[in-house]
Amino acid sequence: MLPEHLHNIEAGLFHFLITGVALVVPVVVFHYFRYGRVEPRRSFVLFSTLLYGLVLLALVFMPFPALDDVCDGRRTTQWVPFQFIAALPETFPLVSFAFNVALFLPLGVLLRKAYGLQLRWVVLAGFLASLTVEIIQVTGNLGIYPCPYRLFDVDDLMANTLGATLGGLIAPAAVIVPKVLPAREVRAQLDAVGLPRQIVAYGLDVLLLGIVALIVGESEWTFLVVFVAIRIATPLLAEGYTPAGRLLKFRVRKIDGTPATFLRLVVREVFGPLGLLALLALGFFALMFVGRTMTASTLGELFGPVQQMQPMVIAVFSAGAGFTLLLLAPVVRRDQRGWHDRIAGLRCVPDRANYADLVRTK
């Protein structure tokens, strides 16, 4: 049975991968609508539950037989409790019993640790979940099959309930499973500007930068001067507003609410998206220069004759992944501050009118 179980687990993991990727955008949108940020605890519990549920369903119901192979007169119910003990001399049913206990162990851990259910409710939930599975099996997957292809076994019902109970008992020791906090404790701060809003504003400022650079001239120095004017000089002279920030009603301030200084704005842009892209570009050109100056034989001695470009490819992909993580890191923070704001000691805050609206709707 082990190869069959491994195949079912692989099927569950495959469907989790597809379903998980499909749910990323809806989860992010829902979390921002509900909490003003992506709440990491709820996201972890959601995808962990999804993974467990799909693997559980695959183990319980797969493989699906052909319709012509199910009505073969086999036994479909087993109502005698502890029948696995009576069958010990001939077979090894303890393995199956232990497997069914382990199958529902994560359910008890999730319900007790993540959602804070009392143990009696965990036991009841485990029993009802197992009973639902057994009913679906004995009805031929709710009538899809003309006959059941799995045995309704009262010992399975007992083992599953025991597994959920044990999971509830050991749940306090499951340090990897977080507790889902109430919504009021995980919402973004009222004076935080959401990351999507910051990304739109940055994109609009960059679009304005490109338009002005095209009109004035396309040299590197022109690009740099216009960039400094839009992203540094304008906030310095306009109480923290960039052109897009003025449009979207938020500005850049120091942590204590005082105006941002020139040096802090410079640091913010150096470690901002375009600044990091410039640093990544310099690193890439440095790698290209080193690669051109070194001979093929030298590269072959260092990296092997077949993988001469592999270190450069790995470096580029690693840098891109790190850049993306840096940009997306604020989604889980209550203050929605990016790395560049944290390094510079700054933050984006809504203007007074918007902040007053937020306070009134609290």
Q: Domain boundaries in the chain? A: 2-64+74-185, 195-360
| Cα(231)–Cα(12) distance, integer angstroms | 48
What digits encode the pLDDT tens for the residues 337-348?
988 999 999 999
| pLDDT score recorded for residue 62 | 81
- What is residue 14's predicted lDDT score, i.e. its pLDDT? 85
Residue 295 CA to residue 190 CA, distance in Å, equals 58
Q: Is the dihedral of CA 82, 85, 91, 94 positive or negative?
A: positive
The 3-state DSSP composition of the chain as helix, strand, coil percent (nearest 5) reads 70, 5, 25
Please give the pLDDT value at position 249.
92
Q: Higher model confidence: residue 210 or residue 278?
A: 210
Residue with structure tokens 């906090």?
181
Residue 205 pLDDT grade (very low, low, confident, very high; cuts 50, 70, 90) = very high
pLDDT band at 300 (very low <50, low <70, confident <90, very high): low
Cβ proximity of 349 and 253 under 8 Å = yes
Nearest to 268 by CA among 221, 235, 226: 235
Across-strand partners of 242? none
Which helix (H) or strand (E) element contains residue 107?
Answer: helix 93-109
Return the half-sphere exposure (C-beta side, CA atoms, 13 A cut-off) of residue 332. 9
Mean pLDDT of 97-112: 92
**Is the confidence at residue 353, as pLDDT, over 60?**
no
Q: Which of 100-109, 173-182, 261-270, 290-299 has the lowest mean pLDDT?
A: 290-299
Instruction: Look at the chain and count its residues.
Output: 362
Q: How far apart are CA 223 and CA 216, in angstroms?
A: 9
pLDDT tens for residues 153-183? 898 999 999 999 999 999 999 989 999 988 8
What percentage of the chain exceeds 90 in pLDDT? 38
Question: What average pLDDT is seen over the chain?
Answer: 83
Say which residue the tokens 């890191």 belong to.
329
207 close to 260: Cβ distance less than 8 angstroms: no
